[in-house]
Amino acid sequence: MSLKNSIVLGLFFTVFVGCGNGVPSDLLQPKQMEELMMDMVVVDSYSDAVVGLNSRDKKTEWLSSETDKVLAIRKISKDKFLKSYNFIRADQICSKLLLTLYRIGLSAIRIKFTMQKSLNMLND
C-alpha cells in the first residue's frame, strides 16, 4: 500500500470513528429536533405577514420572541436547543467529510486502474 493510500485510509478511519458516536442523551434526539425545526419554519413563515416585509429590525425581534415561546411550549431550554443544533451541524460536516474522503479514495482507485490499463495497452 502506497503512502498516499495509507494517508487517505487513515483520515477516513479517523473521521469515521470520530463521527459515528450517535447523539448524546443530554441533547435533543433527531425526531425531537425535526419537530422543533418544523415549528420554527412555521413561525418564520408567519413573520412577513405579522410584522410586514419592510421591518427588518421588528422582524428579528418578533422572531426571537416567538422562538422563545416555541421553546417554552415544548419545555426546551434555549441552551439545550443551541447545543443540539450545533451538534447536528457538526455531524453534518462530518458526514460530508466522510463522503469526500470516500470519493477521493474511489477517484484514486479509478485513476490507478486507468493508468495500469493504458500502460498494458502500450506494452502490448
Cα–Cα distance between 119 and 4 in angstroms, integer? Answer: 21
Per-residue pLDDT at 46: 78
CA separation, residue 119 to residues 4, 16, 114, 124 (Å): 21, 35, 9, 9
Per-residue pLDDT at 75: 95
Per-residue pLDDT at 78: 93
Q: 103 with 113: CB under 8 angstroms?
A: no
Locus of grid cell 450545533: 86
Residues in the chain: 124
Per-residue pLDDT at 17: 47
Cα–Cα distance between 74 and 82 in angstroms, integer? Answer: 14
Q: List, for residues 50-80, the tens digit of each pLDDT value.
A: 777 667 778 888 888 989 999 999 999 999 9
